[in-house]
Amino acid sequence: MTAPLNNYNVAAKEKRPDIIKIAKTFNGIPDCEDYEKMISGMLYDPFIPVLQKARYKARGLAAKFNNLDANTVPYEKVAEIQFGHLKNLLGRVGENTFIEPPFLPDYGCNVSIGKDTFINWNMTILDTSIVVIGDRVMIGTNVSIISAGHETSVLSRRKMVEFGHPVFIGDDCWIGSNVVILPGVTIGEGCTIGAGSIVTKDIPPFSVAYGNPCRVQKTIPSAEEEENDPNNPYRNLTRG
């Protein structure tokens, strides 16, 4: 995780070395001055050629992933082939992660997903800044992660400038269907975000939160605390 900005609704005034350092570990980024401004939350022009080409490349890679023909590919090969496409599309992806198509990223290269994560249909990620999703995360249908933002100034929008703030989702989270996660949000590990929520602010680890705007309703024990509880009904379960 990284230190948050004080105000996610406005552009940053300077680059963020912490975010740039993370991004440089990703595959396929369009590394340049404007890219560093973009992922840092500074105002930038999204229509410069290097960024347009990066988005165009992502469209092609996403099309390969989304249009896999289930009538011609054996079931036993689907996960392997899709994972290969994900490795080309995303900045980083861990083993045993599976995404049900269609999956709609903007750049793709600004997205990092950990291992053993499952994402259901119709995930949209506007990865203007980096989006980091942890291990063993479960994400429901029609979820949108939006790192892109605009100033409220009408003139700024006429000038076609925008900004983006990073989004972080910790390990072992469950994000319900139709959730929208807005720029600059960090969701701590072990959280459950209820269906239909709009997440506008950080959610502390091991929280159950829901609503519009999303608010913490209760906290829960960690997996380690559950394992140490002899009365926990899940501690002796094994996968078949």
Claim: this prediction has a pTM higher than 0.85: yes
Q: Binning pLDDT at 50, 70 and 90, where does residue 74 land?
A: confident
pLDDT digits (tens, 9 = 90+) for 212-231: 999 999 999 999 999 999 99
Segment 56-80 mean pLDDT? 91
Q: What is the DSSP letter of 150?
A: -
Structure tokens at 202: 């950080």
Give the H/E segment covering residue 141.
Answer: none
Look at 102 and 156; give whichever has higher pLDDT: 102
Whether 150 is a known active-site residue: answer yes
In 3-state terms, what secondary structure has residue 102? Answer: coil
Q: How far is CA 120 from CA 89, 95, 182, in A?
A: 17, 17, 19
Give tens-digit pLDDT for 148-178: 999 888 998 899 999 999 999 999 999 999 9
Degrees to nearest 5, angle at CA 221 with 219 and 223: 135
Question: Quick one: what percent of the chain has pLDDT higher than 90?
Answer: 84
List alpha helices for the chain, DSSP H. 17-23, 33-40, 49-66, 75-89, 154-158, 223-227
* Residue 30 predicted with pLDDT over 50: yes
Does the pLDDT at position 240 exceed 80?
A: no
> One of 55, 57, 115, 150 is an active-site residue; which one?
150
Domains of the chain (ranges plus CATH)? 17-227 (2.160.10.10)
Residue 73 has pLDDT above 80, yes or no: yes
Q: Are 72 and 92 a contacting pair, CB within 8 Å?
A: no
Taking residue 45's Cβ as centre, other Cβ atoms within 10 Å add up to 13
